[in-house]
Structure 1
Amino acid sequence: MESCLVRSFLSISPESHFSLQNLPFGIFRSDEKQEPRPGVAIGEYVLDLRVVAEAGLFSGPLLSGSDCFKQISLNSFMALGRPAWKEARNTIQRLLSEDEPTLQNNYSLRKKALVPMSEVKLELPAVIGDYSDFFSSKDHVMTCGTIYRGEDYRIPPNWLYLPIAYHGRSSSIVVSGTDIIRPWGQTGPPNSTSPPEFKPSNRVDFELEMAMFVGPGNDLGTRVSIHDAADHIFGLVLMNDWSARDIQKWESSPLGPFLGKSFGTTISPWIVTLEALEPFICEAPVQDPAPPPYLEELGRKTYDIPLQVSIFPEGAKAASVVCQSNFKYLYWTLSQQLAHHTVNGCNLKPGDLLASGTISGPILGSNGSMLELSWNGQKDLKLANGDSRKFLEDNDDVIITASCQGDGFVVGFGTCSGKVFPARYGKAL
């Protein structure tokens, strides 16, 4: 593990999410005409990895002959695996440190390689071939079950033995800052004698989630062992799994989520690696009953990542914090999710996205969705400007953030934001 005392020659605020101990990877362009390219966030800058590669500064054995940083996505880099990721991280950290002259003293190279964050446009970091969304928070399961089925609700037996998930729509995954259009769809009949209604959803919701990007995949018909699963995880992003609860409720019996989920899924642009998160490893929740042997982990660990959700209504002077939760609350770990995904021989590929499911916690204010916060619209959620919400309204901006406080440094994820815009059609088709 790197020492937290390593410092950069760049001036980086102590509160910056993008310290020298973080170095998250992403894809950016500095103008519309420039081809997208890989970069690393450092303070108020993006380090252009294509420039670094073309200058011959990746001299390690795993990267010196690779063209992964000349691509328009991170998929090729993800496919190289953890030894190459560590080699790249060590090189980048050395080049940006205060004791290294290569960039610091070469003004022309430094100016070319370090682009102000304010001048870049951030893109999706990978070509996402497939996307699965898990259901891994015990508190979320219990709260939602109680809302819909009453105080006698009990967790289904299968949930305690396997990480449940559904296959989502990768084409509607968008990068932070992309507008979300209120969806049309069928909703349940207003009474027992009426047909279902077709209208814009009036129960648009956020879901606080995180998601892992897959690095090396596995061949069809093979499985990834729980003991090897972490080596298939490139890193984590924040995610908002936008949901239209009224559409979802009507369509989800007897099968599952479809149009209530596929109108937009937002992720943050910077992928924080597991190496950067090592200082924040903590014990995972106890599992009772014990999972099947293929899901049993030695020294079962997760990550202490504080999470926050805010709603910024149009015209308000400030955003209102509506949820504070933590990644460590999840019952099923990253390795368990990935191992289970492949246990039937399902093949994962570099750039696939596996989401955690809503991250709700056991304490007041840690509910990760409006469904829970408003008890499915039965309660008003008060905002700082005096307004109240049952579900999201048009022009509400939802902002998810997360940062881990280390010893003299921060490892953060930036923001995952999206604004709800009105439905596009004025009447039913």
Structure 2
Amino acid sequence: MTAADRLATEGFGITHLPYGSFSASAAGPKLGVRLGGHVIGVAALLRHAGAAPGDIEATDGPNLDRLLTCDRAVWDRVRAGIVRALTEPSFAESVVAEAVPISEATLHLPFTVADYVDFYGNEFHASNVGKIFRPGQPALTPNWKHLPIGYHGRAGTIVPSGTEIPRPKGLRPEPEGPPTFGPSRRLDIEAEMGFVLGSPVPRGEVALADADGHIFGLVLTNDWSARDIQAFEYVPLGPFLGKSFATSTAVWVTPLAALERARTAPPAREPAPAAYLDDSTTPAWAFDIRIDVVLNGEVVSTAPYDTTYWTAAQMLAHMTVNGAGLRAGDFFASGTISGPERNQRGSFLEMSWGGTEPLSLADGTEISFLRDGDEVTLRARAVAPDGSTLALGECTGRVLPAR
């Protein structure tokens, strides 16, 4: 029997193996890989597998940072070495002895975020927001179907799952009179997919066909939003304080290699995109992933990622086409993920239609935006053609009163 046989659980088996940063002793954090309910040091596994010294060195650190400086060939060799260590029967006893129950480990942000870009890539979400904020006008702005719209965020406010989120403060518009300063009255979430980048390209211009060499993995992301603060500030330069107070990510990064069987075709594009965004002859970059939005234990929505109009490869091509460099640890998110139905919307702004149609909960109460004490968890599963599933690491945050 192998270590994989003994430790794997549904959704976190040998075909997944997400990466995370963990500490279980005074020695400090180290890069680990998850198998079932346990985490195991990656460098130790590669030593069992007889991996090359350079590959061991790339993983013998507190998180993914060193590995992200490497290229796809190294990433693939490391993954192959991990699989070998976990599936070789002669290693089973020593590997299992090194496995740490996740309940006994402290988990950290899995990589150091270099730059952060948040996109607006889902047509259902963008159309809903346009209808809510600009009734009687076209739902999409004229540029929306020509390029992936995004803004440069604050990397320093990205926090790991489990971090509590104090309600942000700022200037809020009022129905009559000048704006007032105070805690956000319209605190919201955005269910998104995040993408961790590596294999640096100092002068940018990553072509669609090269995206696989730079997108290391996927991570569930909640880009918290203060809708009232955002509404007052965003013209003309876009989001600022209404978005920059916190972005939560899961503590487990699912490697791109684990999601090959979940790839699927993206939505049809009309009009045809510019040549640098034309993915008609490149591999599919949509994924059959369903994201549950869970409020205080109740599933209130299930958002389908494969409905997102602009893919991660297109977003990466766009954010580097002007020559902007790519660094190890750069990070971007998809924008809110929503489907065509009300129970597929990835934000409370949409679920409550701007507060005009409050969401009814199982306990008989209604909600439009988040209350102090509310806890939101994003959890997701990727589905393969044969129906088998892979569970992404969860992303959780609880709202605290304003400081």
Q: Shorter-chain TM-score: which interval?
A: over 0.9
Which residue is 2:268 aligned to? 286
Counterpart among 40, 45, 50 of residue 59 in structure 1: 50
Counterpart among 5, 8, 23 of residue 4 in structure 2: 8
Is residue 40 of structure 2 the alignment partner of residue 37 of structure 1? no
Counterpart among 46, 68, 75 of residue 85 in structure 1: 75
What CA deviation, in whole Å up to 9, does each residue of 1:1-51 have, x standing for no partner? xxxxx99231433xx3311110011111114x3311000010011011233
What CA deviation, in whole Å up to 9, does each residue of 1:315-342 have, x standing for no partner? xxxx221111111111011110001110
**1:142-291 alignment runs, 5 A limit:** 142-191=127-176, 194-220=177-203, 222-291=204-273
Match of 2:5, SS? Answer: coil
Which residue is 1:427 aligned to? none
**Greater helix share, structure number:** 2
CA contact under 8 A between 1:79 and 1:217: conserved in structure 2? yes
CA contact under 8 A between 1:58 and 1:88: conserved in structure 2? no
Which residue is 2:357 aligned to? 379
CA apart distance, 1:130: 0.7
Which residue is 2:104 aligned to? 119
What CA deviation, in whole Å up to 9, does each residue of 1:75-99 have, x standing for no partner? 11012121111111112112212xx
Is residue 294 of structure 2 the alignment partner of residue 310 of structure 1? yes
Distance 1:12 1:74 in 2: 22
Distance 2:16 2:86 in 1: 12
Distance 2:253 2:24 in 1: 19
Is residue 61 of structure 2 the alignment partner of residue 71 of structure 1? yes
Gaps of 5+ in 1: 1-5, 313-318, 425-429
**Which residue identity lines up with residue 152 of structure 2 in the other structure?**
H
CA apart distance, 1:161: 0.9
Distance 1:359 1:376 in 2: 17
Which residue is 1:3 aligned to? none
Which residue is 2:42 aligned to? 49
Gaps of 5+ in 2: none
TM-score, normalisation: structure 1:
0.89
Match of 1:375, SS? Answer: coil
Distance 1:89 1:341 in 2: 28
**Which residue identity lines up with residue 115 of structure 2 in the other structure?**
D
CA apart distance, 1:153: 2.1
Distance 1:58 1:256 in 2: 50
Distance 2:345 2:93 in 1: 49
Which consecutive aligned stretches of 4+ in structure 1 deviate over 6 angstroms post-superposition?
none
Which residue is 1:422 aligned to? 401
TM-score, normalisation: structure 2:
0.95
The number of aligned residues is 399
Q: CA RMSD in A?
A: 1.7
* Pair 18,65 (structure 1): closer, same or farther in 2 beyond 3 Å: closer
What CA deviation, in whole Å up to 9, does each residue of 1:277-298 have, x standing for no partner? 0011111111110100011121
What CA deviation, in whole Å up to 9, does each residue of 1:175-217 have, x standing for no partner? 00000000111111341xx221001111000100011000112
CA apart distance, 1:103: 2.4
CA contact under 8 A between 1:22 and 1:410: conserved in structure 2? no
